[in-house]
Structure 1
Amino acid sequence: MRKWFVVLIAVVAGLVTPATAAASPSTFSRTQCPELYVLAIPGTWADIAEPGILREVTSGLGPRTLVHFVGYSATAFPWEKAIYGKSKAQAVANTVGLATTMLRRCPRTQLALTGYSQGADAAGDVAAEIGSGRAAIRPQQVAGVVLLSDPRRSRKDNLVGYQLDGQGSGGPRLTGMGWLSHKTFSICAPRDLYCNTPRESYVTRIVGYLAETSDPNPSQMHQYHAEASAILDELLAKGGIGALGREVSNQRARQQIIVFNRFLQSGVHTNYAAFEVQPGVSAVDWAQQFLAGLSTQHQ
């Protein structure tokens, strides 16, 4: 059982393999204002020097676009720099700080957000806050958002590619994307359990919830309670605590270990450059073309 929970936590944290692609932030004169400002948040174990697939996603966006990779701990476990909840909170705060600074200096600049894995988790939270009207950044200042392997993907989100029955392992954002709903797009490979966890996998969802709330913010206690209630209500409706008991039974545990081991070994979570959302168009290609289209609109 202990091994099973370790595997589950690894899935929730998105710790399959570290990113290896190299990249650096775009250069842009401090006296100039870009037409489009793209903030890209790398996934777990990546950083602004090695942002993984986001290097390709943000390449070739034009001379009037400024790209910044957001730095943060990008860790998940207590023995690393920060547990998942604290690490993601850093990513959110740093993203908001960069965006606010730019838009105050350049109020006519448009903002775009993108992220992968834990970075998509953070970028999605920032977008949801803006879309709800609770942020200092106005929804009309955001040109678009594209999220790859978002652990808080909702079945109501605009999904690029195959239709999916599951949801993110961390549970959906209960407020949705608000006024940014029509500008936000999510990409998730069907076999990526990080962003497509079956709704009946209650243990996985509970572990995901615990990862999301591992560094609780007092201002979000109402949302934490609502998310916990959503899981509990579904659990009770589907057979109560007995459903959870069946899932952690020895037979079910063995099945889950096999499923998650296959997932970890498949590399599907780190292979979005090969995952096709349309014939001949990979997830990375689609995301890059989406951002390039925003860049063209604002130049």
Structure 2
Amino acid sequence: MIDVLMMPGTFCPHGGDNISEEFLRDLDPARFTTRIVDYPAEYGSPGTYADSRAAGREALLGAIGASPNPVLLGGYSQGAQIAGDVAAEISAGRHPELEVRGVALIADPSRPHGRCAGADPGGWGISGERDTGIPTWWAAAPGDPITALPAGNPLRSLADMTEFYSLSSPEAVAHWAQTMLDTALSRSMQPWWTLDHWQDWGGAAAWMKGYLTDGRHTTAYLAEGHCKALADAVNQELS
């Protein structure tokens, strides 16, 4: 048996986003046991995205260490960011006592371009690109700005500037402002505005509409079969 450790999406700390559950249901029950790994799953309310990811990382590392069987990591949205980052740490040798057989990521904010179970929707993750160094399968819906954003889309700055977003207190607001300034001064923002990306400069509003009202980050994964395609790929390819 292979233990599947699934990190759900933002604002669903104990699961219940439906997308994580749909993927888990489509895995072969004769080969996989599944569980949701709890973590804060916050984005600015009440905690920051950075703090939520840090807590999720610790929860997932603990769950991998406690698993009696080989492990497949899974994640959706924020959970995919965490699972992919942890996989990359393990492949780099940072946790030599841990072993992961594969990774399945849905709407990963750091999906590399061209990597997708099914048709490639183009673009890549809103936070940039990250490989895991471990066999990995990605699901990405066309029009989802979190995982299939064009290179020159201005929404990339939103990801760069909101990792520590919080309005919970004056101190939290001040810390967020300082991190935005530090990001700008360190020149670590994604250069979406460069001339070689000029054709993508427009369209931020349409991509945001896809996220906010058109279900490109949520219901599209169910209605268009992206979760099932990901599970089918894992069922067929993970030995």
Which TM-score applies when normalising by structure 1?
0.64
Which amino acid is 1:118 matched to? Answer: Q
Gap runs ≥5 in structure 2: 167-174, 176-182
Distance 2:209 2:20 in 1: 26
**What is the alpha-carbon distance in structure 2 between the residues aligned to residue 137 and residue 293 of structure 1?**
27
State which of 244, 251, 273 in structure 1 corresponds to 2:222.
273
* Letter paired with 1:38: V
Alignment deviations for residues 7-41 of structure 1 (CA, whole Å, 9 cap, x no partner): xxxxxxxxxxxxxxxxxxxxxxxxxxxx3111001
- 1:91 aligns to what? 56
Letter in 2 for 1:58: L
Aligned with residue 148 of structure 1, among 83, 98, 106: 106
On the 8 A contact 1:57/1:285 being kept in 2, the answer is yes
2:215 & 2:161 partners in 1: Cα distance?
24
Q: CA deviation at 1:132?
A: 1.9
- Report the CA distance shift for 1:85/1:214 in structure 2 as closer, same or farther (over 3 A): farther
Q: State yes or no: 1:73 paired with 2:32.
A: no
Point out the structure with max Rg over C-alpha.
Answer: 1
Q: CA deviation at 1:67?
A: 1.6
User: 2:82 maps to which residue?
Assistant: 122
Q: Distance in 1 between matches of 2:56 and 2:122?
A: 28
After TM superposition, give the deviation of residue 259 of structure 1 in Å: 4.3
Residue aligned with 1:171, SS: coil
Give, as a single letter, the amino acid of the residue that structure 2 aligns with 1:204. L
2: CA distance, partners of 1:259 / 1:231: 17
Count of matched residue positions in the alignment of Structure 1 and Structure 2: 219
Instruction: Compute the displacement of 1:71 (Å).
Output: 0.7
Q: 1:238 to 1:137 in 2, by over 3 A?
A: farther
Counterpart in the other structure of 1:62: 29
Match of 1:169 in 2: 126
Q: TM-score, normalised by structure 2?
A: 0.78
> How many angstroms does 1:114 deviate by?
0.8
Deviation at 1:171, TM superposition (A): 1.3
Q: Deviations over 1:110-133 (max 9, x none)?
A: 110111111111111111111222
Mind listing any 5+ residue stretches in structure 1 that lack a counterpart?
Answer: 1-34, 217-223, 276-281
SS in 2 for 1:191: coil
Deviations 1:222-255 (A, max 9, x none): xx89x954724x64x528xxx8xxx6xxxx6xx6
Q: Does the CA-based 8 Å contact 2:8-2:36 persist in structure 1?
A: yes
- Alpha-carbon deviation of 1:72? 1.0
- C-alpha spacing 1:49/1:123, structure 2 compared with 1 (3 Å): closer
Please tell me whether the aligned partners of residues 149 and 269 of structure 1 are also in contact (alpha carbons under 8 angstroms). yes
CA distance in 2, matches of 1:168, 1:46: 21
**Partner residue, 1:40:** 6
Shift of the 114–151 alpha-carbon distance from structure 1 to 2, 3 Å rule, reads: same
